[in-house]
Amino acid sequence: MNKYRFWQAPFFALFSKDFYRSVGKDWKGIALVYLLFLLAITWIPTVLKINEKITKFENEFLVDIVNKMPELEINDGKLITGVSMPYYMDFDEDDPFIVIDTNASISDYDKYDRPILITKNEIIVQKNRNETRIINFDQIPDIYLDGVAVDNFSKEVLSIAKLLIYPILVLNSFSARIFQALFLAIVGLIFASSLNTEIGYGTLVRLSVVAMTGIIILRTVVFYLAINIPYFWFFGIAMTLVYLFIAINAYEEEDLERELSDLEADPY
């Protein structure tokens, strides 16, 4: 009979050897349910923060884009617009953004000091300091854009993103953590050998899943508070391995106690 339920695990996994013994012995078929539960809970603060940033973008930056967006039409590979040239779309005095000039060419890119230049025939985008990308309008189907169209399309995309981001993050991290647990279980075989104890691979997978509890919770806190910890990935690996070793040692102690109990019951 299970002494601990999976919703109790985030607390007991941080300190209880008895809990790890119970996981190894009784948690067949429960460890993955627990992992999904833990990730579903710990991703909530992060997703709320991401959605908050999306909402801020929608209410501030997107509004500015819509207000400054001129009427643009791409017809037969050519840009048509009625604004005076050059037309600047800058959303921050310290962060120049886009310039539209149908009289310009690729050779004029550097003189505008903007990461994006839109000419009559193409868009030139700066990917990094040493590289630009050119998108020719003859590769784009005929389209008409104005502030209203951009606003409607952007809000629809952002609404879908808000709905999908949570399940995508949870399921992706769930898959990644399963692979990590499978690898950690192999390391666990080495730990078990050093402790002169025999533990099945399936048991080690269960212990590995629970041993990741501490770093999953810590990662949530660090990301939410935007704390920059150098080599955090290395610290996470070390922390998980320490918990795994403790878990295996706790399980080994149970085997030893069982053997001593058997000897006391039947000394001969």
The full set of domain ranges for the chain reads: 6-53+157-263, 70-145
Residue 93 buriedness (CB in 10 A; 0-12 / 13-18 / 19+): exposed
Straight-line distance from the first to the last Cα atom of the chain, in angstroms, rounded to the nearest whole number: 31
Q: Is 236 left (phi over 0), alpha (psi -120 to 50) or beta?
A: alpha
The more confident residue out of 144 and 1 is 144
Tell me the per-residue pLDDT of 258-268, one tens digit each, with 9 for 90 and over.
443 443 444 44
Q: Residue 158 has which token pair?
A: 């952002």
Q: Residue 185 has which token pair?
A: 């279980």
Helix (H/G/I), strand (E/B), else coil: 104: coil
Dist. CA 225–CA 151, nearest whole Å = 31
Sequence-separated (6 or more) residues with CB below 8 Å from residue 216 = 38, 39, 42, 177
Tell me the per-residue pLDDT of 184-204, one tens digit each, with 9 for 90 and over.
999 999 999 988 888 899 999
Q: Give the rounded percent of residues in the chain with a pLDDT score beyond 70.
A: 92
Tell me the per-residue pLDDT of 96-121, one tens digit each, with 9 for 90 and over.
788 999 999 888 888 888 889 999 99
Please answer whether residues 236 and 207 qualify as being in contact, where contact means their C-beta atoms are separated by less than 8 angstroms: no
